Amino acid sequence: MSYREFNAFCAALPATTHVVQWGGAHVWKVGGKVFAIGGWQRGSHPGITFKVSDIGWEMLRDAPGCRPAPYLASRGMKWIQNHEPGLGKRELKQYLKASHALVAAGLSKKKRAELMLSE
């Protein structure tokens, strides 16, 4: 998945914002909280980092093309970084959507209502 595809997909998710920070990483947030990071270029595709559930963590942390996300996972957070030849586009999009949902679910009820995010 290219930066263009990554950014277009994340922009289509509800109530998202985009910022380029941390040395040029494409950072996507919902309600001010990060749910996806595109950065760490390897070959022609960026490394894409996203939050996962406990089950997703168990499935992906040792999967080919995936690894615990630097900095985040070392602090006990369940974040995965995907790089070539990791997940296919369809599967990666499903994980990005799930990451968005996990982060949105952690927002306060008031904040979710302000952003018009369903329960």
Asked if residue 30 has pLDDT above 60, the reply is yes
Asked if residue 119 belongs to a domain, the reply is: no
Q: Comparing C-alpha atoms, which of 54, 49, 8, 16 is closest to residue 32?
A: 16
pLDDT at position 17, please? 97
Quote the number of domains for the chain.
Answer: 1
Asked if residue 102 belongs to a domain, the reply is: yes
| Bond prior to 14 in cis (omega within 30° of 0) | no
pLDDT at position 33, please? 96
Asked if residue 62 belongs to a domain, the reply is: yes
Residue 87's region, left for phi above 0, alpha for psi from -120 to 50, else beta, is beta
Tokens (6 digits) for 75? 């602090």
Asked if residue 46 belongs to a domain, the reply is: yes
Asked if residue 116 belongs to a domain, the reply is: no
The β-bridge partners of 54 are: none
What value does the mean pLDDT take over residues 26-52? 87
CATH label of the domain that carries residue 35 = 3.90.1150.30
Reported as a single tens digit per residue, the pLDDT across 72-101 is 877 889 999 998 778 999 999 999 999 999
Q: Comparing C-alpha atoms, which of 33, 3, 39 is closest to residue 21?
A: 39
User: pTM of this prediction?
Assistant: 0.92
The boundaries of the domain holding residue 9 are: 3-109
Asked if residue 118 has pLDDT above 90, the reply is no
